Amino acid sequence: MARLIARRDFLAGGAALAAGIAGSPARAAFNDPIVGTATIGVAGPFTGDAIRLGEQMGNGVRAAIDEANRLRGTMDRLFAMRTFDDQNTLASGLQNAQFAVDDGSITCVVGHLSGRITEQTLQTYVNGHLPILIPASTFDRITSHGYADVLRLATKDSTEGDLAGAFVVSKGRPKSSVVLYQDADYGIDVAAGYHERMLKEKIDSKAIRFTFEKPDYAGVSKATLAAQADAVYLAGTVKDMGPMLHQLRADGYAGPLYASQGFFDAATTTKYKTEAEGLIVSSSMPPLQLAPSVYRIRLDYEQKYGPFTPLAAFSYAAAQIAIAAIRRSGAADRLAVARILNYPSNYDTVVGPLAFLNSGDPQDPNVYFYSVKDAKWSYVQAAHRSSFVLK
């Protein structure tokens, strides 16, 4: 997987990585002369090293469109999808963002995968008055520019860190805590949110930063143990910080371990199944098996495409929001879609009800906690309760 994917995009490394092969839309009548067609663009890697992640994005949007077309009323618009292959590179991302803007049939875009690419393309979309719904990236800076027409579905990194800190406090109020992060794309915002929450709770907190290129896991473990922490939080990805699980346990740390959603990955329960036992990880992805309202949607998707991965689910949800906005307003072009998306509204989606702040972030951000038990993920609880999830 390309380094640029890193963890500007939390969903790229979800608990289930398998993806179905992209299929064709269920309906063929996409050029209905009476009601017309609204086309949703999907910008992501449809070739290259990250192609399977792009397929998950495409399958999520495609499944939502198929569902909308299957259940549409006589005068409802038809929906279609057009892909823009950014190959998960910045140059191609900028070029394809311009292609989408120049295509007058595109009413909005779902994308991109990488947070850095997403942030760099925002100005192109804003200048072209083309709304963008972001299903993957949790990178704080995406919604820090004050752009209109930009909606991000997942909980941003600093908020995840804050909610995780509150959860750790609720589990036993440690006297001291250590948060570990690297000098890489992902981790610093999560670590900052966690550290600030600990200080707010009057808990002794230490943040330890270490190099990404040549990490000294033994040295970091020694410094962590020297801090006599009652809780350790790993703000990073299992690919890059997974060895810390082994190092800390090997050096005698027996306290609770917590981690950000970069660890909500199959590698945690396979490569580190022994060391990760008891690890608690946060994620924007709700436990859909405990969400009865989306049972049929999940079943239909899995029968056609395979596992309903976090990336597919949030892409599906992004398309649901776009479809709902278009149907509510009768919007015929991107300007009308932008207006309705900027209007305060509630949307029922496959990942739960969503409404958005002026910044473009979710109005009521939430994360869900999972623990590793016997090399499997087990749902624990949400940061705050929601009627969407039973438990």
The alpha carbon of residue 229 and the mean position of all alpha carbons in its chain are separated, in whole angstroms, by: 30
111 with 33, same domain? yes
- Total count of domains within the chain: 2
pLDDT at position 386 is 86
Amino acid 201: pLDDT:
97
Radius of gyration for the chain, computed over Cα atoms and rounded to the nearest angstrom = 21
CA neighbours within 13 Å on the CB side: how many for 303? 6
Q: Are 93 and 320 in contact (CB under 8 A)?
A: no
**Does some domain include residue 35?**
yes
213 and 112 inside one domain: no
pLDDT bracket for residue 367 (50, 70, 90): very high
Q: What's the pTM?
A: 0.90
What percent of the chain is predicted at pLDDT more than 70?
Answer: 91
Q: Specify the pLDDT at position 329.
A: 79
For the chain, helix (H) and strand (E) counts, in that order, are 12, 14
Judgement on whether residues 193 and 143 belong to the same structural domain of the protein = no
User: What range does the domain containing 323 cover?
Assistant: 3-155+290-354
Phi first, then psi, for residue 373 (nearest 5°) are -130, 120
The answer to whether residue 12 sits within a structural domain is: yes
Query: For residue 387, is it within any domain?
Result: no
Structure confidence at residue 25 (pLDDT): 38
Whole-angstrom distance, CA of residue 215 vs CA of residue 219: 9
Question: Cis ω on the peptide bond leading into residue 112 (within 30° of 0)?
Answer: yes
82: closest CA among 63, 62, 98, 64? 62
Beta-carbon neighbour count of residue 78 at 10 Å?
A: 20
Do 169 and 98 fall into the same domain? no
End-to-end Cα separation, the chain, in angstroms: 35
User: In sequence order, which ranges of 86-180 are alpha helices (DSSP H)?
Assistant: 90-102, 115-127, 157-170
User: Whole-angstrom Cα distance, residue 282 to residue 274?
Assistant: 19
Q: Are 237 and 7 in contact (CB under 8 A)?
A: yes
Q: Are residues 151 and 298 in the same domain?
A: yes
Least confident range of 13-17, 231-235, 383-387: 13-17
DSSP string over 238-303: HHHHTHHHHHHHHTT--S-EEE-GGG-SHHHHHTTTTTTTT-EEEES---GGG-GGGHHHHHHHHH
Determine the pLDDT at residue 76: 80
Is the Cβ–Cβ distance between 36 and 76 less than 8 Å? no
> In this model, does residue 3 exceed pLDDT 50?
no
Residues 38 and 111 in one domain: yes
270 and 133 within one domain: no
- Structural domain contains residue 361: no
360 inside domain = no
Same structural domain for residues 59 and 109? yes
Per the domain annotation, does 388 fall within a domain? no
SS3 147: coil
Q: Residue 223 and residue 237: Cα distance in Å, rounded?
A: 20
Residues 320 and 347 in one domain: yes
Of 24 and 288, which is predicted with more confidence? Answer: 288
Summary mean pLDDT of the chain: 91
Burial of 141 (0-12, 13-18, 19+ CB in 10 A): middle
Hey, what amino acid is at 292? P
Do the beta carbons of residue 160 and residue 282 sit within 8 Å? Answer: yes
Name the band, by pLDDT with cuts 50, 70 and 90, for residue 6: very low
pLDDT (0 to 100) of residue 20: 33
Structural domain contains residue 52: yes
Residues 114 and 210 in one domain: no
Strand ranges, E, within the chain: 37-44, 78-85, 106-111, 132-134, 150-152, 176-182, 204-210, 231-235, 257-259, 280-283, 347-349, 352-354, 368-373, 376-382
CA distance 187 to 371: 20
Q: Mind listing the pLDDT tens digit for each residue in 272-312?
A: 989 999 999 999 999 999 999 999 999 999 999 999 999 99
Q: In CATH, what number is assigned to the domain containing residue 102?
A: 3.40.50.2300
| Same-domain pairing of 30 and 87 | yes
Q: For residue 172, what pLDDT band results from cuts at 50, 70 and 90?
A: confident
Q: pLDDT over 90 for what percent of the chain?
A: 83
pLDDT at 73: 79
Is it the case that residue 24 has pLDDT exceeding 70? no
Of 51-60, 121-130, 326-335, the range with the lowest mean pLDDT is: 326-335
- Domain check: are 232 and 335 in the same one? no
Q: Specify the pLDDT at position 22.
A: 36
> Strands across the sheet with 106-111, in order?
78-85, 37-44, 106-111, 132-134, 150-152
Question: How many Å apart are CA 256 and CA 172, to the nearest integer?
Answer: 10
Query: In the prediction, which pLDDT does 2 show?
Result: 38
In this predicted model, what pLDDT tens digit does every residue of 90-113 receive, in sequence order?
A: 999 999 999 999 999 999 999 999
Quick check: is 390 in a domain?
no
Reported as a pLDDT band with limits 50, 70 and 90, residue 9 is low
